Structures are given as C-alpha cells and as structure tokens.
Chains A and B, each alone.
Chain A
C-alpha cells in the first residue's frame, strides 16, 4: 500500500508484538501447570495463595491501575466472600449450601459490595472513595466480630471444603490455577477493549472521556461489579485454603499488599501487577525473621514507589517508549482522505443557540446570545478575553446549563448539564489545553473518540465474543484513517505524552473526527502552532467543513479566522457585537476599535 491510501496498521508487526506480549504469560502458565510435579505441598500452598491474591488483584487492577480509583480497602471483598462462602456451606444462617454454589454466592455478595462501596467514586473526589473503602473494610471486620451466630465472632468459623473434582490438595490447586488464569484472561480482554481505554481515559483525561460519550457512572459500576465479584470468589477460595477463618485473618495490611502489588507493577499493565503479586506473596517466605516487620516494609516500599517511581516497574520496562523519536517531525495532513472518515449522512443539521443567558455570580458571561452554525461552513467566534467564547463552547458541550434560552441541533433541544450525551448528537470538540490520555498510545487516544460506535457489551468484551472483535477492528481502522487525515499516522504507537504540543492539537482533531461529527467545535486550535502548521490546519478545517460538518472555531489568530471562515461572530461582554462575512467584519467600525485594532 502506498502512503496516500495507506493507513492500516502493519499487520505483521502487530501480531509479532502480540506474541512477544504473550510469552511471559505462557511461561507463567507452564510453571503453574507443571508445579504439582514437584509434589511439594508447601510450595503448593504458597502458589495457591498467590493465585487467590491475584484473582482479587486482577479485578482491583482495573479499579486502581486502569480507572485510577484509589481503592485502599478492597480486602473487605475478600472478607465478605470468605464469610459468605463459609457461612453458607456451614449452614449457620440458612440451610447448608453446596460449596460450589456458596462460592458463587460469595462472588455475588462481593459484586454487590463492590458497587455499594464504589458509589461515591461515581461523582466524588478521589479521597472520599479511598475513605469509603477504608471505612467499609473497618466495618466488615467489626460486623464479623459482632455477628457471632453466623461468623463465630472472634473464635472464627471453618472454611468450606470443596468436593471432587477440586478437592483439597492438587485438585484445589488446579481450581485456583484455572480461576486465576480465567481472571487474567478476562481482565486482559477488558483492558484491551473500548471499556479498558475508557477507564484509562477517565483516569487521565476525564473531560475528554466525557466529550467522547463515555458514561463514567455506568462504566465504573460495571467495573466495580466485576472487581467485587473477583474479590468475593477469591475470598471463598481463601476461606477454603485457610480451612479456618477469623476476623484477624483479614487485616487492613493485606489490602496494602494488594495495592502495592499493583503499584509496583505499574498502572495500566496486567503483567506487572501479576508479577508484583507473586513476588509479594513469595517474599515473606524467604524472610522469616522479618515477618513481624513485613507490613512496615510494605508500607515503606509503597512510600518509596510513590515518591520515586510513580509509574511502577511497567514504566521502567517500557523500553519501546524510550527510543528517541525523530527530531524534526512534520505534520502533513491528508484532507483528501476525509471522505472516508466522515459520513455525509450524519451532517446537514444546524446547531443553533437562541437567547442563551448565563451568569457567574454577578458577572454576566453570556447575555442573550443567538448563534447559528450551519453545516458545510466554518463559523468563527472571536472577541477579547472574557467576552464569553469558551463559555459559549461549554454551554454547547453541556458543561454549563444556560439560565435562559436553548441550544438546538436541528430540531432537537440539547439537554443541559450532560456533556457525556453530546457525542450521541455527533457534537465533537477539542480543548483549549489538549486533553491527552498521557499513558496511552496516540492510537488509543484517538480510538476513544469512537467509543459510542461500539456495539458489543461489557460482558462481550470480557469474553472477546465476535461483536467485540468486530468493534475493535472497525475502531482501529477508523482511528488509523483519522490519524492519516491529520498527518500523525506514523506516531500511532507512541505514548501520547511524548508528542509535541502542536501534534497534540492535531491528535485531538483526529479524536473528534472519530465521531463523524455533525458539528465540530475547535477551541483555539492554532495556539502554539508554527505559521506552516497554522496554514495546514486551516486547509484541514476547511476540508472538514466541506464534507458537510458544521465547524465552530474559537480563535485569536485573526489571519486564520479571516482566511478560512465563511461567517464570523464577534462577541463582547457576552453579547454579539457584530456578525457577518469576514469582509464585513474586517470593516466593521466597532470591531476594529474594540478588538482588531486599527
């Protein structure tokens, strides 16, 4: 394929990378499978403990490593799962259950608790969520101590014994092994799906995620359900492994161990945290004299990691992203490919604001604004600082609710205060300061833009069912095409935080194009660009509008505005000072004196 038509990822390189990525897993799997050959039950117990911890950590990794939610008390899921499974099997609260059924119930209780604990994370600051998980862990232990009839209180209760085929000994070993492998497989699938990318987007650039239509609450609830269920199942297995459980077995310090394993491993990695879990489980066995200091050492380790390598081991090992990039890179957009990215059918509707008013405290940021942005046109919005340009954009994108007036696309009134619903209307935007998902590749950053076009569900992604695979293929192709359009296809695999500022601006446009926008809003896209780049940007913007997209351009570069806009509106103090063609505006007396200068 030649460059002009070419944007598909080099297939061979991808599959090679996949094999390279799978090698450590294959090695780990072989070791796990063959370990019983040693016939050493001491090693067996340690390995089982590592599997069980990993089953919990695999789910927690999605919460902590991917979504960036600081769940410090996730040990409570282990406690709940353990007591549920043990109590149901023993029949202290109900007629006795079959152990396998009780394990499933343990998972279900864990899932439910995951959501309850996670609720504050849906809309609150990080610290609150950390505190809720801590509080929940404290309370679960208190309840386990107090509810003597069911949990045996401080004395404890026997754990479940699983019957054939997974009876104690190597049968149970393989049970843990299989479940750990399953947990790994499912979390890896999810991490590589649009849901996994959306989680990282929530972590690094929540605003951009919202603008791409990521519904944070729904996604997080699904993740908390899944992570809670894994924690509950791990708890049931743990109870069986311990054979007798007391509240003392579930210390808060254990939570720290899970947490550190993930942080050592690195955020946004699965192999790293898995290795971290194994190391932290095995390590105390070699350091018996230090055993009473183990939590102290874990805590010290945590402090060191946070202060010295917040990126974890995965960051240190990420050698690919330390290779120097080419110094003098040029962004060469290929607008001629636009027709393949944009879908003319979705355009054709007018975005209009009528009589919009909004004030902050005593300041009237927008005072009765009418605006009409037509498909196929570039509409410039200019004005001095504080005239209400960005505020207007934020009203359209749903961050602010107007106090009066309406925003409409065609005949539909856009719901106020619902930024994550704008993507459904095919309204895309870029930001004054680029909102990048720093830890993800440029390709992933762009694929986020197509989130709402995925058809597969969360569960389908967990199991890589065909619909999920079709989604991925389509999104990847579309994203490569969008990158080719803006001229960044060569950088698709690079971590986004390594790009130059101007490249980030073009990357944001590629992300916005993934929506096949009916309306595209650009917030100062030329800021920080060189003269050459501004010229190319201008041509790209015009080409996008000619495909039938309504473009709203907020900009300070007067030259760019007058070169490419079909219509210009000048704001001053939240009101329209003048509106018309560029020629009319250029000769408008008040505009010249208020803004452009003589």
Chain B
C-alpha cells in the first residue's frame, strides 16, 4: 500500500505541479491568473485520446499535435481574454474573461467528446508497478519542464527577457523589450506545459471534461503554497499535495482528504498570504 501511495501520489502531484507552473508562466508575463490552466490540462488528456486512441496516430505525432494545439490555445487566450482587459487589471476582469473562455472550451468538449470519462491509450508497454507509464511519465514530464525552464531562464537571452518582464514590465518596456511578443510567447509556452501535464497524466486521470475544474483548483494550491511565480515552490507544493491527498485517501477516506486539502489551503492563505516562500506587498497610497 505504501508503494502505491507514493507512486500514485507523486504522479498526481507532478501533474498538479505542472499545472501550477502553467499558472506561473502566464502570471509572470502578465500579472494575470488564468483559469485556462485547468482547461489546458483537461485538453491534454482529451486531445491525446482523440489523436492517438481514436484517430490511431503514432504516439509521438499525437504528442506533438497536442502540444501544438496547446500553444495555439495559449495564443488565443492571450489575444482574446487577456490583452483586452490588461489595461484595467485592477478591476480583475481577467478572472471572468479567462473563466468564460475556459468554460466555452470545456462545454465544447462536453458536447463533442462526451461527458463520460474515456480511457487514455497505453503508450509504452512496460510495467506493472513502478515501471508503469502512468506513474513515471508525469514525473518525467515535470522534471523535463523544470530543468528546461531553468535553462531557458538562466542561460538564454530570451529567457532573461522573460524574467525582466516578470520583475518589472514597465522598466522592461522602457529598455525596449517587446513586451507584447514576450507575453504571447509565454502564453504559448504555458499552453505547451499545460497540455503536457494533461497528456502525461491522462492514463491516471482519464480523458474527462470534468478534470478542468479539479485541475484548476488542485493546480492552484501548489502556487498558493509555494508563492506566486515560483516554479520550484510549485513543484514542491504539487508533490506534497499529491502525496498528502493519496495518503489521506487511503488512510481516512475521500471526504476527509478533500476537506483537509481545502482547510490547509485556506489556513496557509490566511497565515502566509505570500505563500510559504516569501514575497512582498506593494505600495497602496
């Protein structure tokens, strides 16, 4: 039992962490928290099952197509729901515009794909136990993403431009950085990461339209725990959340697990609003 708590918990946790990173990548570029993060996760599974399971494409082609769709959706998100309301960000209209867009996509999936959870094809036939794809694939994706992002941010010029925008977009613009293009690139990147999370986690979570709101919430918890914009915080928070949830599920049952996660979320928010790892408040007057 212990082994299955750990393997399952880490795998789910890796998916949560990736969704958390999706939130972060969009937030860093635009100061916008977008409800499309969970949508991307949900789509990763549904599109993967569609391309590989239904249409019978080779796994690698399917994966590339899914990620490409994610990137396109990221761009659409930026264009349609973020850019028009960015001017009046203090009104928080982005909450509504991104939510509305995410819901439209979700409902489209519900009608065209169906409201039943459908299985996701097995891509690599090894296992069972630890070697099972459904456990190591999300973790691998998470590791690749975090290493890739670190390399991007630390080693490349464009990555440093991302950081500059995240730190102080006003100053970055004054330096002549193309803020709009960088923001679009960030949203495309977030689209790729979000769908990757959904794709790799789909054998476990199934291809199901209802995953959207679950991933939206459980993917945000690591961000709240780890601090906004902190990818490492999101990974630690995500894995911890996954383990905690699975342990509680096995030991005391699902009701308690759900309530406990929510209680921890609220308590952390109230005691450490900036997350467990630092941050600061802005001048108000």
User: How far does the alpha carbon of A307 sit from the alpha carbon of B82 in the complex, in Å?
Assistant: 10
- B260 to A: closest C-beta gap in Å: 10
Residue interface bits A70-91, CB-to-B below 8 A is 1, else 0: 1010000000000000000000
* Residue A595 CB within 8 A of the other chain: no
Instruction: Pick from B85, B265, B270, B273: contact of A307, CB below 8 A.
Output: B85
Asked whether, in the complex, the Cβ of A116 is within 8 Å of the Cβ of B266, the reply is yes
Instruction: Pick from A127, A136, A307, A394: contact of B33, CB below 8 A.
Output: A127
Instruction: Pick from A70, A134, A142, A293: contact of B258, CB below 8 A.
Output: A142
Asked whether, in the complex, the Cβ of B107 is within 8 Å of the Cβ of A399, the reply is no
- Residue on A nearest B90 in the bound complex, by CB: A126
Asked whether, in the complex, the Cβ of A143 is within 8 Å of the Cβ of B259, the reply is yes
- Tally the A-B contacts, defined by beta carbons under 8 Å: 116
* Residue A207 CB within 8 A of the other chain: yes
* Residue B126 CB within 8 A of the other chain: no
| Chain A hits for B1, CB < 8 A | none
User: How far does the alpha carbon of A130 sit from the alpha carbon of B85 in the complex, in Å?
Assistant: 17
| Chain B hits for A120, CB < 8 A | 266, 269-270
Instruction: Pick from B84, B104, B253, B262: contact of A300, CB below 8 A.
Output: B104
In this complex, how many residues of chain B approach chain A with their Cβ under 8 Å: the count is 41
Question: Interface segment, B48-56, B128-136, B216-224, B233-241?
Answer: B216-224
| Chain A hits for B265, CB < 8 A | 132, 135
Asked whether, in the complex, the Cβ of B255 is within 8 Å of the Cβ of A306, the reply is no
Asked whether, in the complex, the Cβ of B95 is within 8 Å of the Cβ of A135, the reply is no
Given contacts A134-B213, A147-B255, A296-B108, 19 further A-B contacts (CB under 8 A): A70-B92, A70-B95, A72-B95, A120-B269, A127-B33, A128-B269, A128-B273, A135-B217, A135-B221, A135-B265, A143-B259, A207-B285, A263-B96, A292-B111, A293-B107, A299-B100, A299-B107, A302-B96, A303-B80
A-B contact pairs, 13 of them (CB 8 A): A116-B266, A127-B92, A131-B217, A131-B224, A134-B216, A146-B255, A147-B255, A207-B284, A256-B99, A302-B99, A303-B101, A307-B85, A397-B285
User: How far does the alpha carbon of A252 sit from the alpha carbon of B212 in the complex, in Å?
Assistant: 11
Asked whether, in the complex, the Cβ of B85 is within 8 Å of the Cβ of A306, the reply is yes
* Residue A242 CB within 8 A of the other chain: no
* Residue B149 CB within 8 A of the other chain: no
| Interface of chain B residues 258 through 276 with chain A (CB within 8 A) | 258-259, 261-262, 265-266, 269-270, 273
User: How far does the alpha carbon of A261 sit from the alpha carbon of B151 in the complex, in Å?
Assistant: 47
* Residue A295 CB within 8 A of the other chain: yes
| Chain A hits for B96, CB < 8 A | 70, 259, 263, 302-303, 306
Asked whether, in the complex, the Cβ of A296 is within 8 Å of the Cβ of B107, the reply is yes
* Residue B254 CB within 8 A of the other chain: yes
- Residue on A nearest B91 in the bound complex, by CB: A310
Asked whether, in the complex, the Cβ of B262 is within 8 Å of the Cβ of A139, the reply is yes
- Residue on B nearest A143 in the bound complex, by CB: B255
Asked whether, in the complex, the Cβ of A399 is within 8 Å of the Cβ of B285, the reply is yes
| Chain B hits for A310, CB < 8 A | 91, 93
* Residue A124 CB within 8 A of the other chain: yes
User: How far does the alpha carbon of A108 sit from the alpha carbon of B65 in the complex, in Å?
Assistant: 51
User: How far does the alpha carbon of A298 sit from the alpha carbon of B270 in the complex, in Å?
Assistant: 33
| Chain B hits for A293, CB < 8 A | 107, 111
Instruction: Pick from B214, B254, B269, B284: contact of A132, CB below 8 A.
Output: B269
- A149 to B: closest C-beta gap in Å: 10
* Residue A322 CB within 8 A of the other chain: no
* Residue B103 CB within 8 A of the other chain: yes
| Interface of chain A residues 55 through 113 with chain B (CB within 8 A) | 70, 72
Asked whether, in the complex, the Cβ of B284 is within 8 Å of the Cβ of A296, the reply is no
* Residue B81 CB within 8 A of the other chain: yes
| Chain A hits for B33, CB < 8 A | 127, 131
- B264 to A: closest C-beta gap in Å: 11
| Interface of chain A residues 407 through 435 with chain B (CB within 8 A) | 431
Asked whether, in the complex, the Cβ of B254 is within 8 Å of the Cβ of A299, the reply is no
Asked whether, in the complex, the Cβ of A126 is within 8 Å of the Cβ of B269, the reply is no
- A452 to B: closest C-beta gap in Å: 20
| Interface of chain A residues 246 through 287 with chain B (CB within 8 A) | 252-253, 256, 259, 263
| Interface of chain B residues 96 through 134 with chain A (CB within 8 A) | 96-97, 99-101, 103-104, 107-108, 110-111
* Smallest CB-CB A-B distances: 9 pairs: A299-B103, A296-B107, A303-B100, A302-B100, A135-B217, A126-B92, A127-B33, A146-B254, A299-B104
| Chain A hits for B214, CB < 8 A | 138
Asked whether, in the complex, the Cβ of A394 is within 8 Å of the Cβ of B99, the reply is no
Asked whether, in the complex, the Cβ of A143 is within 8 Å of the Cβ of B101, the reply is no
User: How far does the alpha carbon of A484 sit from the alpha carbon of B156 in the complex, in Å?
Assistant: 63
User: How far does the alpha carbon of A171 sit from the alpha carbon of B81 in the complex, in Å?
Assistant: 46
Asked whether, in the complex, the Cβ of A136 is within 8 Å of the Cβ of B273, the reply is no
Interface centre among B81, B96, B254 (most CB of A within 10 A): B96
Asked whether, in the complex, the Cβ of B97 is within 8 Å of the Cβ of A303, the reply is yes
- A199 to B: closest C-beta gap in Å: 16
Instruction: Pick from A135, A252, A394: contact of B262, CB below 8 A.
Output: A135
Residue interface bits B246-258, CB-to-A below 8 A is 1, else 0: 0000000111001
- A58 to B: closest C-beta gap in Å: 20
* Residue A123 CB within 8 A of the other chain: yes
User: How far does the alpha carbon of A126 sit from the alpha carbon of B262 in the complex, in Å?
Assistant: 18
* Residue A577 CB within 8 A of the other chain: no
* Residue A539 CB within 8 A of the other chain: no
User: How far does the alpha carbon of A302 sit from the alpha carbon of B284 in the complex, in Å?
Assistant: 30
- Residue on B nearest A303 in the bound complex, by CB: B100
| Interface of chain B residues 203 through 231 with chain A (CB within 8 A) | 213-214, 216-217, 220-221, 224
Residue interface bits A354-367, CB-to-B below 8 A is 1, else 0: 00000000000000
- A440 to B: closest C-beta gap in Å: 16
| Chain A hits for B269, CB < 8 A | 120, 124, 128, 132
* Residue A337 CB within 8 A of the other chain: no
Asked whether, in the complex, the Cβ of A431 is within 8 Å of the Cβ of B285, the reply is yes
- Residue on A nearest B108 in the bound complex, by CB: A296
Known contacts A72-B99, A256-B103, A296-B111: does B253 contact A119 (CB below 8 Å)? no
User: How far does the alpha carbon of A252 sit from the alpha carbon of B215 in the complex, in Å?
Assistant: 14
Known contacts A143-B259, A431-B285: does B213 contact A300 (CB below 8 Å)? no
Asked whether, in the complex, the Cβ of A307 is within 8 Å of the Cβ of B220, the reply is no
Asked whether, in the complex, the Cβ of B253 is within 8 Å of the Cβ of A146, the reply is yes
| Chain A hits for B81, CB < 8 A | 303
